[in-house]
Amino acid sequence: MKSWIIAASMLCATVAAGSLHAQATTVVRIAELVIAPDQLDAYTAAVKQEMEESIRVEPGVLAIYSVAEKGAPNRLRFFEIYASEQAYRAHIQSPHFRKYVQATQPMILSCTLIETVPVQLSAKGN
């Protein structure tokens, strides 16, 4: 019985370590932006194009979500998930991201980037 408990404990530790390793390599960033209200349409068009391109051509970009505050459409939040730190670095060096930054920088009134530690990431797959 004692050896069974030890074996079960080792199995649980191995499974948990693998799950933690997968979560530890995943990079999740949150960006909070305030856009000049008169530039919101132009900004939205530019960021939509950049997000779609990133998902289409960058395998390390797992997800990018954009939402606006209810009642404050120029206050945006982005939730970005990358396969690794290397994937994030490749993303911010990509030509389409650099083009987006150059085009939208004058439209952005403020930007706060938040680094996170993934605790649990759950989604329905397809």
pTM, 2 dp: 0.78
pLDDT of residue 103: 98
Class of CATH domain 25-115 = alpha beta
pLDDT tens-place string over residues 14-65:
444 444 445 559 999 999 999 999 999 999 999 999 999 999 999 999 999 9
Nearest alpha carbon to residue 115 among 82, 76, 90, 73: 82
Beta sheet of 108-115, edge-to-edge order: 61-69, 72-82, 27-35, 108-115
Contact between 83 and 26 (Cβ < 8 Å)? yes
Map out the domains of the chain as residue ranges: 25-115
106 burial (CB, 10 Å; 0-12 / 13-18 / 19+) is exposed
Distance CA 22, CA 79 (A): 18
Distance CA 59, CA 87 (A): 8
pLDDT tens-place string over residues 83-100:
999 999 999 999 999 999
